[in-house]
Amino acid sequence: MRWSKAFIPTLRDDPADAEAASHRLLVRAGFIRQLMAGVYSMLPLGFRVRAKVMGIIREEIEAIGGQEFLLPELHPREIWERTGRLEAMRDILFTLEDSRGGELVLGPTHEEIFTTIAGELTSYRQLPQLWYQIQTKFRDEPRPKAGLLRVREFTMKDSYSFDIDAEGLDRQFDAHFDAYTRIFERLGVPAIPVVASSGAMGGSGSVEFMVASEAGEDDVAHCPSCGYAANVERATARPFPVEDGEPAAAPERFPTPGVRTIADLETFPGGAVAERQIKTLVYMLDGEPTIVLLRGDDALMEQKLQDVTGAVEVRPATGSEIVELLGASPGSLGAVGLQDVRILADEALRGRRNMTTGANLDDHHLRGVDVERDIAVSEWVDVRTVRAGEPCPSCGEPLEVFRAIEAGHIFKLGTKYSEPLGATVLDAEGKAVPIVMGSYGIGVERNMAAVVEVHHDDKGIVWPVSVAPYEAVVTIVKVSDTDSWETGKRIYEELLALGVDAIVDDREERPGVKFNDAELIGFPYRVTVGPRGLADGVVEVTERRSGTSEEVVVAAAAARVADQIAAAKALL
């Protein structure tokens, strides 16, 4: 490709709304353009990177037996109703009506559709199966941001496994785990597998592949000592030892005028520090009022609450609902003596004595509370948010918590979709049984962005050779110089003959502009051809990552670059 004929609209300045490095650089370097919030056009350079990312994904999924499909993006509303996800995912579903009044859904994912096709399987002898596609998805994200990291239209590789039993699912899950590990290695993305919530996908378990980045939207708890890692939506920690002293004979009520928060009670005379308070929250779980109790210095993780209860709709109760249930306003709430209401208590409160909580009377609290004696706990649950520095649940060493990008997610679905959609086969005894399924997703454009988040510097993007839009650029410093033009053109053609994906910069631009563009875009290697070097029979070969340059005789330049690229690919 000749740069003078290409559409590569680089910009001098960062886009005003770009916060993430990947957003800023992919726009500036001419890879993407925003059409509207959360919707981006892929320009030629972006399209090339996207194709290479998809090529790596496709190779690794087919290596474990994947068969490629292409399924519709328009889905009938009814199939989403049958699995219950029309309600569970209503906040992000794009829905529409056709000219005949039919109600449709734009596919955010394809579990339902693949399962209907699996309904054509009839016998266990046809299993296992592994099907996949690379297809556009639509999700009505309320706050799209960070360029390609959170969008409303994107490309995803979603694969689905079909087995006769849980053991078969385990094998396919493990095969995907290994395939994903190879994919991220080849992309140059240091992804950490972490235990995760299955959320609206459902199933018995899931693993996310997370990339540490301040641009991410997830928090990961990780133990550097033993390797434990989990999304904070699932993470646990060992409790610190606590000494509560001798139990009080009974709770004692005392006035707390004006006290409305945990912090207020900490500074109130005769109050209590946060870790000796009981935080009382009132939630509506599928319309049922539920009391949730935590230690005063802990924060509720709502996803844990949803996971542990299985509720579809989870929301805090309104002020009027709280007063109707408990007779007091927030700030004076507690669970002592409550009957006929569901009370979930976090495990960090188990066995705690001499605690302080609201008295369900405005401006009053209770001290000397023994949680297990004085509160009729319905269920003990883990719903607290883990904090950095808390003891690892596996080895006891301090946990670290960092922001991360979710690069991939694999799920054990079991029969969540096959049962409601009637996807069954006959087993060895001739009995109809539901197919056991797994689901495995990787966002293509999100991984493009993740690569840039990991691989950039103050000059621009530093693409790994595996996904660079072009592996090398031949920069002709002075196009009007006949020797420079002929030599540059010859090296470019030699690179192509050696299998190098190359572009030649033949623009009538100042050398500084050409060098800055090459560094901004992030081509792994640059061959600089200019009159000064040619006078000595050499050209300059520069590696983008290290910034090192070397002079190479003209005849050896193409082979030298090809060898360096081959060596770099061998490391991925």
Q: What is the pLDDT of residue 16?
A: 86
Reported as a single tens digit per residue, the pLDDT across 56-111 is 999 999 999 999 999 999 999 999 999 999 988 999 999 999 999 999 999 999 99
Same domain, 475 and 448: no
**Taking the CB of residue 287, how many other CB atoms lie within 10 A of it?**
8
For residue 226, being part of any structural domain is answered with no
- CATH number for 76: 3.30.930.10
* pLDDT tens sequence across 439-492: 999 999 999 999 999 999 999 999 999 999 999 999 999 999 999 999 999 999
Cα–Cα distance list, 327 to 256, 259, 285, 357 (Å) = 17, 17, 20, 15
Instruction: Provide the β-strand partners of residue 34.
Output: 40
Q: Which amino acid is at 175?
A: A
Angle at 543 between CA 538 and CA 546, to 5 degrees: 130
Whole-angstrom Cα distance, residue 40 to residue 42? 6
> Are 474 and 442 found together in one domain?
no
Count the domains in the chain: 3
CB 211 within 8 A of CB 449: no
Mean pLDDT (the chain) is: 95
Distance separating alpha carbons of residues 569 and 572, to the nearest angstrom: 5
Q: Is 393 part of a structural domain of the chain?
A: no
How would DSSP label each residue in 97-134?
E-TTS-EEEE-S--HHHHHHHHTT--BGGG--EEEEEE
Q: Please give the pLDDT value at position 17.
A: 85
Pull the structure tokens for residue 426: 């006959």
Q: Among 394, 428, 453, which residue terminates a domain?
A: 453
Q: Report residue 199's pLDDT band, with 50, 70 and 90 as the boundaries.
A: low
Q: Residue 337's pLDDT is what? A: 93
On whether both 297 and 409 belong to a single domain, the answer is no
CA nearest 245: which of 173, 353, 345?
A: 353
pLDDT higher than 60, residue 341: yes
Residue whose entry in the numeric block shows the structure tokens 């794009």 = 94
Degrees (nearest 5) of the Cα angle 71, 72, 78? 115
Asked whether residue 198 carries a pLDDT value surpassing 80, the answer given is: no
The confidence band for 19, taking pLDDT boundaries of 50, 70 and 90, is confident
Report DSSP letters for 447-480, one per residue: HHHHHHHHSEETTEE---TTT-S-SEEEEES-TT
Q: Does residue 106 sit within a domain?
A: yes
Q: Please identify, among 453, 480, 515, the residue that sits at the C-terminal boundary of a domain.
A: 453
Rounded Cα gap, residues 475 and 537, in angstroms: 16
| Beta carbons within 10 angstroms of residue 235's beta carbon | 28
Full-model pTM: 0.89
Both 360 and 313 in one domain: the answer is yes
Mean pLDDT throughout 204-222?
92
Structure-block tokens of residue 45: 């350079």
What's the CATH number where 539 sits? 3.40.50.800
- Whether residues 346 and 410 fall in one domain: no
Distance CA 89, CA 237 (A): 30
Round to whole Å and give the CA distance between 21 and 460.
9
Claim to verify: residue 372 and residue 422 sit in the same structural domain: no
Distance of CA 48 to CAs 108, 259, 500, 513, Å? 24, 60, 14, 23
The answer on 442 and 326 residing in a single domain is no
pLDDT in tens, 161-170: 999 999 999 9
At residue 243 the predicted structure's pLDDT band, cuts being 50, 70 and 90, is confident
Residue 275 sits in the same domain as residue 191: no
Residues 297 and 169 placed together within one structural domain of the fold: no
564 and 443 part of one domain: no
Nearest to 523 by CA among 559, 473, 569, 454: 473
C-beta separation of 491 from 225 below 8 A: no
556 domain residue, yes or no: yes
- The answer on pLDDT for 202 being more than 70 is no
Determine the 3-state secondary structure of 306 from DSSP: helix
Q: Which residue has the tokens 């369900």?
A: 360
Name residue 389's amino acid.
Answer: G
Contact 127, 425 (CB under 8 A): yes
- Name which of 38-42, 202-206, 274-278 the model is least confident about: 202-206
First and final C-alpha spacing in the chain: 26
Residues 422 and 304 in one domain: no
User: Judging by DSSP bridges, how do beta strands 278-285 and 229-231 pair with one another?
Assistant: unpaired
- Domain span at residue 424? 17-206+405-453
| Domain-located, residue 358 | yes
Distance of CA 254 to the CA centre of its chain: 47
Interval 405-433: pLDDT, tens = 999 999 999 999 999 999 999 999 999 99
Task: Sort strands 424-426 and 103-106 into parallel, antiparallel or unpaired.
Answer: unpaired
Question: Residues 77, 195: one domain?
Answer: yes
Binned at pLDDT 50, 70 and 90, residue 259 comes out as very high
Q: Classify burial at 34, counting beta carbons within 10 Å of its beta carbon; exposed 0-12, middle 13-18, buried 19 or more.
A: middle
